[in-house]
Amino acid sequence: MEDYLSYIKNVKNFSNHTIINYKSDINAYISHIDSELITEKAIKKFVIDLSKKGYSNASINRKISAIKSFDNWLYETSIVSKKKSKNIKLLKVPKTLPEVFSSSYLNRIMDELPISSNEDIRDKAIVELLYSSGLRVSELVQLNINDIGNKKSVKVLGKGKKERLIPLNKKALNSIKDWEDRSRTEIANQNEDALFVGIRGSRINDRQVRRIVLKKLGTYPHAIRHSFATHLLEGGADIRIVQELLGHEDPNTTQIYTHVSVKEMQKKYKTSHPRA
Angle formed at CA 185 by CA 143 and CA 210, multiple of 5 degrees: 45
- With contact defined as beta carbons under 8 Å apart, do 192 and 180 qualify? no
Cα distances from 121 to residues 178, 188, 208, in angstroms, run 7, 14, 15
- With contact defined as beta carbons under 8 Å apart, do 40 and 85 qualify? yes
Active site residues: 136, 159, 222, 225, 248, 257
Rounded Cα distance between 156 and 163, Å, is: 6
Half-sphere exposure of 224 (CA within 13 A, CB side): 28
Query: Taken in order 181, 178, 202, 154, is the CA torsion positive or negative?
Result: negative
Rounded Cα distance between 110 and 87, Å, is: 48
Rounded Cα distance between 224 and 100, Å, is: 7
Rounded Cα distance between 43 and 46, Å, is: 5
Q: What one-letter code names the amino acid at 224?
A: I
Rounded Cα distance between 131 and 106, Å, is: 9
Among candidate residues 243, 129, 252, the one with its CA nearest the CA of residue 195: 129
Rounded Cα distance between 4 and 69, Å, is: 9
